[in-house]
A = this chain, B = another copy of it.
Amino acid sequence: MASFTVENYLKAIYGLSQKQRGGVSTNAIAEAIGTKAATVSDMLKKLSANKLIHYKKYQGTTLTTKGAAMALNIIRKHRLWEVFLVEKLDFRWDEVHDLAEELEHIDSDELINRLEAFLDNPKFDPHGDPIPDKSGVIHQREQVALTDIQVNEAGVVTGVKDSSKEFLQFLDTQGIELGDRLVIKEVFEYDKSRTIELDGKAMTLSHQVCKNLYVKTEA
């Protein structure tokens, strides 16, 4: 129904609105989509005319119920395709994003529902992000960043905040993957780096890494 372009705008607005409260700015959308603010302004007018966003000039934008439903469906498709690529075609978790970026626009609910069943109804994608169900309901997992737990606290790695190829490959080199159990051994106040124990091995992780790693604590 909606063009690739419109779908990408909706997804971007949804994503940005999750990271802050209040409306999403024109510049933020331009940055996310890789386009210019002028282009975004034009598009916001069209999306608004189609009742996909709430929009007052100069005031930022938020998705309407209809717009949010469409965004969630695209996210659902994106994440299910990512699971397919990793689980069935043996792609690595750092290789699947761009492909899913294309596959998410394939227009068929029947296809995506069957794919979901074929994959045994996964609840999370390869990066630990939750998969919205058919009606767009998304269950956020109870998880905290590694920066938010104390010395001697333990956690299981459940996801990443930064899904960039670079970060994912860095985690690979360190042998850190989803499901790993770790314990914080020491926090260095100087640079906020932390020493953790994982698989019986000690390693030190920078503040930047800890900020971007989600764990579920054993509370």
Query: Residues on A close to B: CB < 8 A?
Result: 85, 88-91, 99, 102-103, 106-108, 111, 114-115, 118
15 A-B pairs with C-beta separation under 8 A: A85-B111, A88-B118, A89-B111, A89-B114, A89-B115, A89-B118, A90-B114, A91-B114, A99-B106, A99-B108, A99-B111, A102-B106, A102-B107, A102-B108, A103-B106
Q: How far is the CB of A32 from chain B (nearest CB, A)?
A: 22
Q: How far is the CB of A187 from chain B (nearest CB, A)?
A: 42
Number of this chain's copies in the assembly equals: 2
Report B-chain residues with C-beta under 8 Å of the C-beta of A99.
106, 108, 111
Report B-chain residues with C-beta under 8 Å of the C-beta of A90.
114
Q: How far is the CB of A16 from chain B (nearest CB, A)?
A: 26
Report B-chain residues with C-beta under 8 Å of the C-beta of A106.
99, 102-103
Report B-chain residues with C-beta under 8 Å of the C-beta of A85.
111
Please name the residue on chain B nearest to A117 by beta carbon: B89
Please name the residue on chain B nearest to A98 by beta carbon: B108
Please name the residue on chain B nearest to A102 by beta carbon: B106
| Complex-state Cα separation, A204 to B97, whole angstroms | 53
| Complex-state Cα separation, A102 to B105, whole angstroms | 9
**Other 8 A-B pairs with CB < 8 A, given A85-B111, A91-B114, A102-B106:** A88-B118, A89-B111, A89-B114, A89-B115, A90-B114, A99-B106, A99-B108, A99-B111
Report B-chain residues with C-beta under 8 Å of the C-beta of A102.
106-108
| Complex-state Cα separation, A99 to B115, whole angstroms | 13
Please name the residue on chain B nearest to A85 by beta carbon: B111
Please name the residue on chain B nearest to A96 by beta carbon: B111
Please name the residue on chain B nearest to A113 by beta carbon: B89
Please name the residue on chain B nearest to A105 by beta carbon: B102
| Complex-state Cα separation, A118 to B90, whole angstroms | 9
Report B-chain residues with C-beta under 8 Å of the C-beta of A103.
106
Please name the residue on chain B nearest to A107 by beta carbon: B102
Please name the residue on chain B nearest to A106 by beta carbon: B102
Q: How far is the CB of A64 from chain B (nearest CB, A)?
A: 27
| Complex-state Cα separation, A37 to B106, whole angstroms | 28
Report B-chain residues with C-beta under 8 Å of the C-beta of A107.
102
